[in-house]
């Protein structure tokens, strides 16, 4: 019995043809796929927007629940118990009133407590050598609280002091973004 010879088209492809095809596909993929890493201006903006969202969430929770909430900004990593930014309920059951339980992010259901730097997405840092919130009569503070009406205040013991200026500066690769809190309305914006 005679076995028929396979024609060229029935034999398949050679190793060289396969190698050239894979190389062309790899080149096309490298050109077609956008760069998935963010640039430095985007990193600073992303980190600033994340901090602004934390401030907005704290204010909205104060308005919604009618209880004081606050945002802690640890610019120098002095408190190892929380991240650089933490949203919390103000504990008024103790004197002086202080940081109570960390609130939960409504989307992830995780504690609203995060680091701006070293998270892989932004790799930004909170800039500055002083706390971000300047308060009438008590100077600079690491935290700002929102009262039940949404007004930004600073606690000093049982006393509440008016926020004069709130600015969190975030830098990434020489680019700076600033999160500001309006001391009268509590409105939060990123510049």
* Residue pLDDT, tens place only, 52-69: 999 999 999 999 999 999
- pLDDT-derived band at 172 (thresholds 50, 70, 90) equals confident
pLDDT at 124: 83
Residue 29's pLDDT band, with cuts at 50, 70 and 90, is confident
3-state SS track over 29-85: HHHHCCCCCCCHHHHHHHHHHHHHHHHHHHHHHHHHHCCCEEEEECCCCCCCCCCCE
pLDDT at position 36? 47
At 133 the three-state DSSP class reads strand
Any idea where the domains of the chain sit in the sequence?
A: 40-190
149: its two tokens: 């009406």
CB-side exposure of 149: number of CA atoms within 13 Å?
4
Instruction: Confirm or reject CATH 3.55.40.10 for domain 40-190, answering yes or no.
Output: yes
Q: Which residue has the tokens 């609130």?
A: 103
Residue 118 scores a pLDDT above 70: no
pTM of the model: 0.76
């Amino acid at each position: 019995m005679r076995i028929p010879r396979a024609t060229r088209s029935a034999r398949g492809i050679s190793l060289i043809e396969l190698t050239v095809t894979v190389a062309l596909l790899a080149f096309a993929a490298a050109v077609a796929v956008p760069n998935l890493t963010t640039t430095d201006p985007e990193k600073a903006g992303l980190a600033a927007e994340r901090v602004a969202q934390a401030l907005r969430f704290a204010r909205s929770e104060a308005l919604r629940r009618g209880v004081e909430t606050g945002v802690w900004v640890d610019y120098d990593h002095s408190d190892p118990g929380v991240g650089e930014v933490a949203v919390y309920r103000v504990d008024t059951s103790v004197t002086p009133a202080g940081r109570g339980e960390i609130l939960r992010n409504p989307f992830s259901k995780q504690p609203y407590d995060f680091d701006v730097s070293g998270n892989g997405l932004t790799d930004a840092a909170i800039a500055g050598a002083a706390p971000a919130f300047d308060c009438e009569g008590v100077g600079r503070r690491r935290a700002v609280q929102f009262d039940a009406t949404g007004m930004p205040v600073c606690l000093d013991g049982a006393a509440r002091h008016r926020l004069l200026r709130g600015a969190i500066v975030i830098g990434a690769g020489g680019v700076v973004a600033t999160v500001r809190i309006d001391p009268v309305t509590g409105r939060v914006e990123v510049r």
